[in-house]
Amino acid sequence: MPITEILARNAELYGEDVALVEINPQELEKRHTTWKEYSLIEPSRSDSFRSEMTWGQFDRKANRLANFLLTRHLRKGDKVAILLMNCLEWLPIYFGILKAGAMAVPLNFRYTAEEIKYCLELADVDYLFFGPEFTGRVEAICDQLPRIKSFLYVGEDCPSFAEPYGNLVSYCSSRAPQVQLSEEDEAAIYFSSGTTGFPKAIVHCHRSLTHACIVEQKHHGQTKDDVFLCIPPLYHTGAKMHWFGSFLVGGKAVLLKGIKPEWIISAVSEEKCTVVWLLVPWAQDILDAVDRGEIKLESYQLSQWHLMHIGAQPVPPSLIKRWKQVFPHHDYDTNYGLSESIGPGAVHLGIENIDHVGAIGKAGYGWECAIVDENRNPVAPGEVGELAVRGAGVMKCYHKDEKATSETLSKDGWLYTGDMAKTDANGFIYLVDRKKDVIITGGENLYPVQIEDFLRRHNAIKDVAVIGLPDARLGEIAAAIIEVKPGETLSEEDVENFCKSLPRYQRPRKVIFANVPRNPTGKIEKPLLRKTYGGANLVAQQNELD
């Protein structure tokens, strides 16, 4: 079934029910008022702080967008990119693209102008929707993208090089377009990256997206009455595919624009949220705020909140132990997945297995898992091998990259993840290490090669290696091991100043001056570096978890 049919069904069954709520807490701070005060004095609750959309409005907006694209002679299979911060318009635009028979291409809002250009060209994008936060970046590259037929602006004060999305679609029909879709039609491109740091364009069909809806709802049992709090960016498969469980049953979702602990707790309280997906640092921040007395839980309505689940990075068991002490009535779960497997759920711990925290779980609903050696033969329990998964959510291919596709996908449907894992005697899967050197910090991927290439531009740097070191809050931080040229001097402050032209999240958080070891073939010996500089921290952290 195409995923668009779920939206049409929700509009028919629950047309007047609220589907999406957007919350912008910074607006309250500008007014010097509290969430509760706002609720009392502004019962209409529809302005720059809080706005909402019913399922009927959601579906009609998606139909108008689809019909608009079709008036522009969009063809089935064309690609339409989305470069927006989380907002009410994000999901109607996404589903409108799908209803038109096109492929949605969500873009990471952290991308620089050059990264945006690279991804648009890699995915052969024909149209781009973007918001005001990205005007400068898009304007810098728009003349270099001859394939793109139109830059469509979502917001006030449309720049001269773009067209105003709102005005254009308002005149289009709100009826469903007459476009025949099947579950095998290509639906979306998401971006990933290998060890080089250059993104790959991952192609998913409608079948994958619909499977993600079913898997999420089977794992967490969402009902029509549940309210899902969505905090992570919607371009990310983790956020959207967890929402898919609520989407499948017509439940409400709240899009919170901000990650401050008091905002999260207030949103749960005021919007009566029942299911919340967090990243490790956000959960850590909430607990720290409670410990400091900055959040007094008795001041909030939290009894309806029954599920907290975490993903996107390894989860310290000590964090969950602490969470359960503060929120003893919460169910807890974690899921493993990757963009190539349409996000979370390929491996699933399950709320009934909290005693196995530290494991990522077992094969998720409708999934198979295997741990294999370098010849792709199964290994024995307890032995380390590469994790492979198979199911209806596996990608179709990497767009325009047959070599990478053949290396990752087998002919019989297995997806080789590049993650090293092992199973215990009970069949629970534990991640051991990553083949790829990607650093996961606060749920975001950092690519060491990109940072290394940047640092090597400094005249005083002879060699550099970037590795991930354990961090209690972020999971990992990027550390740069820098070998200085003979006769040159370099300080941590010099490195920090040099890195200011990098996006903040890409800047190394630790600088170590030392020799960079390389093996006889010239490759950096990163396992040795991780053992040398991360070993003590890893042992201390493991002792804490035990």
The model's pLDDT over 451-494, given as tens digits with 9 standing for 90+, comes to 887 898 898 998 899 999 998 888 899 999 999 988 899 999 99
Q: Residue 345: CB partners within 8 Å, gap ≥ 6?
A: 212, 215, 216, 219, 241, 335, 337, 364, 365, 367, 393
Q: Global pTM? A: 0.84
Closest residue by Cα to residue 335 from 442, 408, 242: 242
**Tokens of residue 522, six digits:** 């010239």
User: How confident is the model at residue 437, as a pLDDT?
Assistant: 75
**Tokens of residue 483, six digits:** 């070998």
User: How confident is the model at residue 117, as a pLDDT?
Assistant: 96
Closest residue by Cα to residue 207 from 229, 192, 189, 185: 185
| Count of alpha carbons within 13 angstroms of residue 288, beta-carbon side | 10
Beta carbons of 468 and 410 less than 8 angstroms apart: no
User: How confident is the model at residue 406, as a pLDDT?
Assistant: 96
**Tokens of residue 528, six digits:** 């040795």
Q: Residue 143: CB partners within 8 Å, gap ≥ 6?
A: none
Q: Which residues pair with 344 in a beta bridge?
A: 337
Closest residue by Cα to residue 460 from 487, 491, 482, 485: 485
Distance CA 390, CA 414 (A): 5
Distance CA 210, CA 545 (A): 37
Distance CA 220, CA 213 (A): 11
User: How confident is the model at residue 42, as a pLDDT?
Assistant: 60
DSSP string of 453-511, one letter each residue: HHHTTSTTEEEEEEEEEEETTTEEEEEEEEEEPTT----HHHHHHHGGGS-GGGS-SEE
CA 526 distance to own-chain centroid: 26
pLDDT tens digits for the chain (546 residues)? 999 999 999 999 999 999 999 999 988 888 877 777 777 766 555 678 899 999 999 999 999 999 999 999 999 999 999 999 999 999 999 999 999 999 999 999 988 899 999 999 999 999 999 999 999 999 999 999 999 999 999 999 999 999 999 999 999 999 999 999 999 999 999 998 543 457 899 999 999 999 999 999 999 999 999 999 999 899 988 888 999 999 999 999 999 999 999 999 999 999 999 999 998 778 888 998 999 999 999 999 999 999 999 877 667 787 899 999 999 999 999 999 999 999 889 999 999 998 998 899 999 999 999 999 989 999 999 998 899 999 999 999 999 999 999 999 999 999 999 888 899 999 999 887 666 677 888 877 787 877 887 898 898 998 899 999 998 888 899 999 999 988 899 999 999 999 998 988 889 999 999 998 875 445 678 888 988 988 544 433 333 333
First-to-final CA distance of the chain: 46
| Domains by residue range for the chain, with CATH | 4-326 (3.40.50.12780), 439-545 (3.30.300.30)
DSSP E strand boundaries for 279-326: 307-310
The residue with tokens 């936060």 is 133
Residue 303 burial (10 A CB sphere; 0-12, 13-18, 19+): exposed
Q: Write the CA distances from 386 to 76, 206, 267, 527, integer angstroms.
A: 37, 28, 40, 17
CB neighbour burial string for 434-446, b if at least 16 within 10 angstroms, e if fewer: bebbbbbbbbbbb
User: How confident is the model at residue 541, as a pLDDT?
Assistant: 37
**Tokens of residue 320, six digits:** 């969950």
User: How confident is the model at residue 350, as a pLDDT?
Assistant: 94
User: How confident is the model at residue 525, as a pLDDT?
Assistant: 80
